């Protein structure tokens, strides 16, 4: 990697919306060892003199940073509440990065973990990227405070809850749309974890929200919305396992939303409620 490359941090677009700015950044990631993109929305309240809290949003399988930016409709309420949105990609990227032809493994399917198995371990360190490198970069380049919340959809809901369980001091609240809550025992998770972490299942529990909630509990408020008409609910998402393990936990709200599916139409419907939930805890 050339020194010019290692310092790459470029705004590839910067668009005014709802009085704020939707920005897309291209940068060299030292952790992932490849070039990456991420998006940031800055509300009008964020200025050279005024910093604002941020909500990280982790997307699902097949997504980049642009699915949430363009389809969730989050900017109007984020602008009103004075929240920055930080929207990463879902895996390392590029021709030199290992991939698979299926949609649920490889690029677009990083599962927010640090892979230990070849060929994945060379680049797939999304846990470290999301929890360390990206916040350091965002804090250095944008007017944001230390106050952070984390949210996500599907694979990103798994990422948000499992990260919040392990780093409760780094976030003030966590929420998820249609999260994969128990990846150790669903086909998407079993496939990904076998490839990224190896066949030894005992190493998987540190990335499984149900297992983490069982072993550690949760030290911050959690809001989950799940559509009852989501085609992935029974086989992949296993929301009942989250309900069961959360029974004795305070500050956990799991809402079954009648008739909604797995799509961004569902996210767009409830994103306002999630941002208001996070704003309340970010300002507490
Ligand atoms: N069957 C879908 C599975 C992937 C999927 O549903 N991805 C969700 C997250 S798990 C998504 O957000 N897709 C992108 C979008 O709707 O914009 C496919 O093959 O693309």
As a whole number of angstroms, the distance between CA 284 and CA 281 comes to 5
**Per-residue pLDDT tens digits for 40-75:** 999 999 999 999 999 999 999 999 999 999 999 999
Kindly tell me the burial class for residue 146, based on how many C-beta atoms sit within 10 Å of its own C-beta (0-12, 13-18, 19 or more): exposed
- 263 ligand 1 Cβ < 6 A: yes
Ligand 1 contact, 104 CB (< 6 A):
no
Q: Which CATH class is domain 3-282?
A: alpha beta
- Close Cβ partners of 234 (under 8 Å, ≥ 6 residues apart): none
Atom 14 of ligand 1, residue of closest alpha carbon = 63
Does residue 276 surpass a pLDDT of 80?
yes
**72 alpha carbon – ligand 1 mean position (Å):** 14
What is the pLDDT, as a whole number, of residue 284?
85
* Structure confidence at residue 6 (pLDDT): 76
Distance set, CA 182 to CA 145, 149, 151, 159, 245 (Å): 32, 22, 17, 11, 11
At residue 21, does pLDDT exceed 80? yes
Q: Which atom of ligand 1 is nearest to 63's Cα?
A: 14
Which pLDDT score, from 0 to 100, does residue 243 have?
A: 98
Compute the average pLDDT of residues 99-126: 98
| Amino acid 233: pLDDT | 98
β-sheet with 52-58: strand ranges across? 9-17, 20-29, 34-42, 84-88, 52-58, 144-153, 174-177, 222-227, 252-257
Quote the pLDDT of residue 5.
Answer: 73
Proportion of the chain above pLDDT 90, given as a percent: 97
Q: Tell me the pLDDT band of 4, cut-offs 50, 70 and 90.
A: very low
pLDDT band at residue 34 using 50, 70 and 90 as cut-offs: very high
Res 1 pLDDT > 60: no
Token digits for 242?
């989250």
Is residue 3's pLDDT more than 70? Answer: no
Q: What is the mean pLDDT of the chain?
A: 97
Confidence of residue 2 (pLDDT cuts 50, 70, 90): very low
Torsion of CA 196, 219, 168, 157, to 10 degrees: 50
The pLDDT value given to residue 65:
98
Position with higher pLDDT, 5 vs 175: 175
Residue 180 beta carbon below 6 angstroms from any ligand 1 atom: no
Tell the residue nearest (CA) to atom 1 of ligand 1: 103
Q: What is the pLDDT of residues 70-106, one digit of tens each?
A: 999 999 999 999 999 999 999 999 999 999 999 999 9
> What is the percentage of the chain residues whose pLDDT exceeds 70?
99
Six-digit token string for 28: 């060299």
């Amino acid at each position: 990697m050339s020194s010019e490359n290692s310092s790459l941090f470029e705004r590839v677009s910067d668009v005014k919306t709802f009085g704020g700015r939707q920005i897309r950044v291209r940068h060299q990631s030292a952790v992932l060892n490849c070039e990456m993109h991420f998006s940031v929305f800055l509300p009008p309240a964020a200025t050279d003199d005024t910093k604002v809290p941020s909500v990280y949003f982790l997307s699902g399988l097949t997504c980049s940073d642009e699915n949430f930016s363009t389809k969730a409709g989050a900017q109007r309420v984020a602008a009103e509440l004075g929240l920055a949105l930080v929207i990463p990609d879902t895996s390392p990227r590029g021709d030199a990065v290992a991939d698979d032809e299926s949609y649920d493994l490889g690029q677009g399917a990083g599962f927010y973990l640090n892979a230990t198995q070849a060929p994945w371990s060379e680049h797939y360190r999304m846990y470290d990227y999301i929890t360390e490198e990206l916040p350091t970069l965002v804090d250095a380049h944008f007017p944001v405070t230390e106050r952070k919340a984390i949210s996500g959809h599907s694979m990103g809901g798994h990422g948000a809850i499992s990260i919040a369980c392990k780093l409760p001091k780094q976030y003030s609240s966590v929420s998820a749309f249609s999260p994969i809550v128990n990846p150790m025992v669903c086909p998407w998770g079993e496939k990904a974890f076998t490839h990224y972490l190896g066949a030894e299942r005992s190493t998987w529990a540190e990335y499984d929200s149900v297992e983490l909630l069982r072993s550690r509990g949760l030290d911050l408020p959690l809001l989950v919305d799940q559509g009852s008409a989501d085609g992935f609910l029974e086989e992949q998402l296993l929301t009942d396992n989250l309900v069961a393990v959360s029974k004795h936990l305070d500050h956990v709200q799991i809402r079954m939303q009648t008739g909604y599916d797995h799509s961004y139409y569902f996210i767009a419907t409830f994103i306002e409620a999630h941002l208001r939930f996070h704003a309340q805890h970010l300002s507490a």
